[in-house]
Amino acid sequence: MLKHTLVHALFLAVLLALFFVIGNPIHPGAISTFPWLIAMVPVPIVLAVRLRYEFKRNPSLSFGQTFRFGESTVCLAGLLFGAFTLAYSYFYFRVPGTYFLGMTLLLTILGTWFVGTVGSLLFAIVVASIAKRHEA
Model pLDDT for residues 114-131, shown as the tens digit of each residue: 999 998 999 888 888 887
Residues of the chain with pLDDT under 70: 1, 26-29, 95, 136
- Predicted pLDDT of residue 13: 94
- Predicted pLDDT of residue 95: 66
- Predicted pLDDT of residue 129: 84
Note the pTM of the prediction, 2 decimals: 0.85
The CB-based long-range contact list for 1-7 (8 Å cut-off, 24+ gap) reads 4/50, 4/53, 4/54, 5/50, 5/69, 5/72, 5/73, 5/76, 6/76
How many angstroms separate the CA atoms of 96 and 112, rounded?
A: 22
Is there a contact between 71 and 121 (Cβ–Cβ < 8 Å)?
no
Q: Residue 51: CB partners within 8 Å, gap ≥ 6? A: 66, 69, 70, 123, 124, 127
Task: Give the residue extent of every domain in the chain.
Answer: 2-25+36-135
Is there a contact between 86 and 102 (Cβ–Cβ < 8 Å)?
no
pLDDT single digits (tens) 6-17: 999 999 999 999
Q: Residue 8: CB partners within 8 Å, gap ≥ 6? A: 46, 49, 50, 73, 77
How many angstroms separate the CA atoms of 55 and 63, rounded?
A: 11
- Predicted pLDDT of residue 22: 85
